[in-house]
Structure 1
Amino acid sequence: LEVMIYTKSDKESVKLMQDHGLGPILAAWCRANRQDIDEAIRLGFSQVGISHPVSFIHFSKWPHLTLEDLINRVVDAVTYARDHGMTVFVHGEDSTRADWEFEKVFINAVAEAGAQVYRICDTVGCGLSDPRAPLPRGIPEKVKRIKAETKIPYIEIHAHDDLGNAVENTMATIRAADGLYDKVYVSTTFLGLGDRAGNAETEKIIMNCYMHYDVRKWNLKPLRELAVYIASSLGYHLPVNKAIVGDGAFAHESGIHLHGISKLPLTYETFPPELVGQHRSIVIGRRSGKHGIRLKLEEILGRKVDENDPRLLNLVELITREFSARERRYPIGDQEFRLFAKRAGFEV
């Protein structure tokens, strides 16, 4: 669990997490200097992530420094952290735009200094998941070359979502590392929160591993509750259609879909909503049809409704007219549906 350590609130958060027994899994994000590492030591960290650019694009910010100077700066920070008994991750910022010949030298230098993990940072989200894609953007190829041509024990992926590929690039790294490493580190953020378009969502990576690779080590039930808690705490609007945790992730409106899930939910759901603390919802829109309206009515009433009940036919007519005559384009909410049901003759 990587955290910042610079502001007062950062330090208060670190103390709170340590007090709750999370200290051993915390890692301090640091720049490549001894002052940051000293602060991490003072705060009681045993792990640090030392971040430094590896692309020539970033190096243009320091025209007075040679490539050797840049490598030595990071090596000094790694050595200093290792001398203080810390586990060291090195973050290769902008790795997917880095010259491989330089990056290879860089990785070997920090590995020899004692770094245990090298983070491939797809900083601007331009990386490619295609195994055929060449360096520097081809992430699977980079994973293979790091294993074959460097001494670093382990790798990590940190993907940004500028092109919408953060989850796929993260999963591609996991696949590429399989058989090469006995473990791989994955950097994610819950809800994908992060700079610009954000990062690979923790909940999506967890569910991809669960569904496609049978990884069953996580308790999935709190995912929805955690999403709501984080969103409300940060004042973040949780998108209705956010996969897995959004309000509409298991909402069905189409008549065909509603008929399908009423018979066999698996027809239109890849996993049951209860698995992640969610629930299925029926949304009444312009395409819901008689079957969908009946299902919603049964949900509201808590009992079965005869499909030939004249009141049901009245309700279908009322709702159909609502969408056609008024050219309504947004769904009918539960409270409004109750009013329509009362008008049709049901006791709600």
Structure 2
Amino acid sequence: MVSVLDSTLREGEQTPGVYFDKHIKLAIANLLDEVGVDIIEAGHPMVTTEIKEAVESIAKKGYKAIVGAHSRSLKSDVDLALECGVGFIGIFYCVSEERLSNVFKKDLPSAIQQITDVINYAKTQKPNILIRYTPEDTVRSQFENVVTAASAAVEAGADIISVADTTGYMVPGTSRSMYDYVSRLKDELNKKGLNPKIAVHCHNDRGFALANALDAYRAGAEIIDASVLGLGERAGIVDLAELLVVLTADFGESKWNLLKLNELYHLVSKHSGVPIPANYPIMGANAFTHCAGVHTHAASINPMHYESLSPDLVGRERHFALDHMSGIASLRYALKLIGENELDDELQADVLKEVKSVGQRGRTVDLTELKHIVDSCKHNKTFKQMSK
């Protein structure tokens, strides 16, 4: 069964302009634990004192989820993470020849020595700590370097190797397939008698983060990183709600409390300042709203004519929007909802005409306004009859 690591509080704060106050971080972590994510990546304690205090507060909450911290391959970073009382440390260091030579001025053996020394140190300080090693920008690094570094990391005590698509480079169904990459990496490690859990961290630069994560899942990855609203560097990472709903509805991984997602998303949206787009899958205002006349007519009879997911899955409701696209069937359905199902055909036509007029001004008509339109049309009809 796959595990999900939520990185809203770490990767999410790498979204430009996003920062969560400590009490909001705790509230987000509370909801993440209620949703049932397996690992809450609470932050990078070395970044600021406030982040360290927040990580420590979350780690001491006693969640069912494992609370983790981010760490460079430095003992000082590990010390701060351990001081926070976390049960998971994510250690990263690149193995790309270009970056090693141009940025770090190191060769691969020196980099691997630094990685393994830090992992050994962390395990010595706290033997039961879960260690994830990430070769930064994994998929664009030389594969042989990734295998060599990952093997050394596991032998030093790493429990998890994360495949990072740091720039959203992978494309399903091509030579840059995440399915192929994860399969190949697992095979190479298995040949060496090494069986770490494989995690994936997929960025969304090309819009393929979720598709790549699912490719990795199909290839046997055991951990998938995600965040609320897909928050993260540039175009962000895998969206948590989309991931959990697809794993539940399409892959039978039914272990999460999806009914808490709506509360979680509105909390994160409010305090990140990032609105939930109306057309966003699962959590957007229009995700379960039917508009066009043909759609609303069919959906009012059987929603599955124009839905492949039920809003009940995430505790939301189905809506029928009235605007310039509406037809008489959708109007009649809405009239029934407000107790106005006895209008004659002429009045219904008048009401529909007014609804379409409002829609052409770029608005939708909700049930409250529909009631006002009905009252107005009734009044106009009465006035015309009295004027004859």
Q: Same fold (TM over 0.5)?
A: yes
Residue deviations 1:74-133 (CA, integer Å, cap 9, x gap): 111111111121221001211111111111111111111111110000000011332xx4
After TM superposition, the structure 1 stretch with the greater mean CA deviation from structure 2, 8-17 or 200-209, is 8-17
Q: Matched residues in 2 for 1:306 and 1:56: separation?
A: 75
| Residue 333 of structure 1, CA deviation | 4.4
Residue matched to 1:97? 140
Q: Matched residues in 2 for 1:330 and 1:319: separation?
A: 10
Q: Matched residues in 2 for 1:232 and 1:149: separation?
A: 45
The equivalences for 1:241-280 within 5 A come to 241-280=279-318
Residue deviations 1:230-282 (CA, integer Å, cap 9, x gap): 11122221111111111111111111111111101111122221220111111
| Residue 138 of structure 1, CA deviation | 2.7
| Residue 311 of structure 1, CA deviation | 2.3
Residue identity matched to 1:257: H
**What is the SS of the residue equivalent to 1:197?**
coil
After TM superposition, the structure 1 stretch with the greater mean CA deviation from structure 2, 152-161 or 17-26, is 17-26
Q: Matched residues in 2 for 1:335 and 1:40: separation?
A: 53
After TM superposition, the structure 1 stretch with the greater mean CA deviation from structure 2, 303-312 or 36-45, is 303-312
- Do the aligned partners of 1:223 and 1:276 also contact (CA within 8 Å) in 2? yes
Choose the corresponding residue for 1:343, options 353, 360, 376: 376
Residue matched to 2:28? none
- Do the aligned partners of 1:224 and 1:276 also contact (CA within 8 Å) in 2? yes
Q: Matched residues in 1 for 2:60 and 2:124: separation?
A: 26
The equivalences for 1:72-221 within 5 A come to 72-84=113-125, 85=127, 86-130=129-173, 133-134=174-175, 137-150=176-189, 151-177=194-220, 184-221=222-259
After TM superposition, the structure 1 stretch with the greater mean CA deviation from structure 2, 283-292 or 197-206, is 283-292
After TM superposition, the structure 1 stretch with the greater mean CA deviation from structure 2, 46-55 or 10-19, is 10-19
Pair 1:305-2:341 in alignment: yes
| Residue 10 of structure 1, CA deviation | 1.7
Q: Percent identity?
A: 27
- Do the aligned partners of 1:160 and 1:166 also contact (CA within 8 Å) in 2? yes
Residue matched to 2:24? none
Q: Matched residues in 1 for 2:303 and 2:104: separation?
A: 61
Residue identity matched to 2:361: R
- Do the aligned partners of 2:324 and 2:357 also contact (CA within 8 Å) in 1? no
Q: Matched residues in 2 for 1:56 and 1:121: separation?
A: 16
Distance 1:204 1:193, change over 3 A: same
Residue identity matched to 1:142: Y
CA RMSD of aligned residues (A): 2.1
Choose the corresponding residue for 2:55, options 14, 27, 30: 14
Q: Matched residues in 2 for 1:207 and 1:60: separation?
A: 43
Q: Matched residues in 2 for 1:318 and 1:144: separation?
A: 59
Choose the corresponding residue for 1:41, options 82, 85, 100: 82
Q: Matched residues in 2 for 1:129 and 1:35: separation?
A: 39
| Residue 11 of structure 1, CA deviation | 2.6
After TM superposition, the structure 1 stretch with the greater mean CA deviation from structure 2, 53-62 or 310-319, is 53-62
Distance 1:258 1:129, change over 3 A: same
| Residue 341 of structure 1, CA deviation | 2.1
**What is the SS of the residue equivalent to 1:26?**
strand
Residue matched to 2:382? none
Q: Matched residues in 2 for 1:159 and 1:128: separation?
A: 11
- Do the aligned partners of 1:17 and 1:23 also contact (CA within 8 Å) in 2? no
| Residue 144 of structure 1, CA deviation | 1.7
| Residue 320 of structure 1, CA deviation | 3.3
Residue matched to 1:314? 350
Residue matched to 1:180? none
- Do the aligned partners of 1:225 and 1:277 also contact (CA within 8 Å) in 2? no
**What is the SS of the residue equivalent to 1:222?**
helix
For CA contacts below 8 A with separation 6 or more, give which structure has more relative contact order: 2
**What is the SS of the residue equivalent to 2:250?**
helix
After TM superposition, the structure 1 stretch with the greater mean CA deviation from structure 2, 331-340 or 200-209, is 331-340
After TM superposition, the structure 1 stretch with the greater mean CA deviation from structure 2, 243-252 or 13-22, is 13-22
**What is the SS of the residue equivalent to 2:205?**
coil
Distance 1:227 1:329, change over 3 A: same
Q: Matched residues in 1 for 2:280 and 2:107: separation?
A: 45
